Each structure stands twice: as structure tokens, then as C-alpha cells.
Structure 1
Amino acid sequence: MFYDLDTRELLRTRPNPLRPEQMKRLRGARPAGPPPRPSIEPVRVQRRASNSGIIMVAGQKVALGRLHRHQTVTVTVSETTLAIELTDGDTKVIRRTTTQPVRSIKGQRPQIATQVS
């Protein structure tokens, strides 16, 4: 688990690479401290809309419409809703249908082709 040392806020988790037999043989092993607490406040992420104006947040596809294609939008992800801040100043609130955690914060940039001489 990766967490912030100051606030003990859980940032992300990874599987343990050691087997239980290997963990028993560690020198100086000591019991773990209190478990880190997950963030209470909503997570803010950025997503870039596809060619057809669709974004995906936490495993849920959201259609914004072709008007918003290739635009980067900010999404506030809470436990029950997705609040999408569109580039024209509007906010679209959608009920969340998945329970998956947010895996990436930043949306993908468009890939730029290199010029061949």
C-alpha cells in the first residue's frame, strides 16, 4: 500500500510480491501500524473525450455528445455521483453505476505523429 505519511491517506494499493514463507524469514519484522484510511472527499480526475464524445471514469462510460469531442473535461467522482465540468462552464451530474475505484487521474493526451522526411 502507498499512502501519504503526513495524513495517512491511502493513495493506491499493489499486491504483495512476497509469499507467506518469505515474510516469516524477514529480519527485524515488526507489526504494522494502524491501517491507512481512504480519502473521504471526492476525487477530481481529468478525461479527454473520444472522437464520438465519450469518456470513461471508474469503468463507467459517459456520453457527452459530439459537441465535446477531443476536449479535456474535469470529473469529480464521489461515492454515488459523477459531476462533469464541461468546457463551456456547464456541470453535468450523473448517477454512478459502478463501484470500481478510480485508477488514473489524468486523461490521455492526443498522440502526435512525427514528421518523416
Structure 2
Amino acid sequence: MAGEGRQRIDKWLFFARVVKSRSLAAKVVQAGRVRLNREKIDQPSHTVKAGDVLTITLDRRVIVYRVLEPGVRRGPAEEARTLYEDLTPPVEKTADVPPDVMVPVREQGSGRPTKKERRRTDALREPD
């Protein structure tokens, strides 16, 4: 290790349960999705220490953590929460539901026919 109280960023992300595996943590760092004290890093071997602020972009969300201590192991979630302080700003909920979230409603009888309706249609077309 580079020094006492320091840890590789990929190990820390894995121990803090930010990602599922250490190799995935390395890929996230190499993709440029992690900033350390507002500086973009791209090496999984970069070290973090207590007091560093990490900004992590995952999927459609941004996570901001302050490192409190290096991890020893990947333990349960309660143990992982002791490694960081969550500084992520709360998500504002809007009163209106955006149109892309609304479930489309289909009129009864429109769209593809059901199996029962198909049998009735076939019975009308083919007299037996």
C-alpha cells in the first residue's frame, strides 16, 4: 500500500458495496465515472484516504460519498455504511407524473384478439 490509512479505490468501492465485484469497480473507474475530490481519475490503483470525497456516476444516478475509513473486508451492508458518509443531494419529487412514466391504457377490444376472439372469427370464416 502507498501508506497507512490508504486503500486502492477499486477495493474501497467493492468493500463499501458500491459495486458487486472488484473487477466491476475497476471498470467503473477506468470508464471515468469516478471523481476524487473533483478530479477525474481513470486508474483503479489510485489510493483514497479518510476525508476524500468521491463522486460516482452509476446508471442514471450520481452518488457523492465522503470516505471515513479504508475497508478491511466486504462485510454486511451495516459494516459497509461505516466506511462512508453519504453526501448525495436528495432527489426532488415532482407532483406531476411525467408522460413517459404513465402506463398506456388500451381500449377493450382493440389490439390483438384473444384466443377466444380468434376462434370466433375463424368459426365465422370457415363454416363446418
Q: TM-score, normalised by structure 2?
A: 0.21
Name the one with the larger helix percent: 2
Name the one with the larger strand percent: 1
- Please tell me whether Structure 1 or Structure 2 has the larger radius of gyration of its CA atoms: 2
Q: TM-score, normalised by structure 1?
A: 0.22
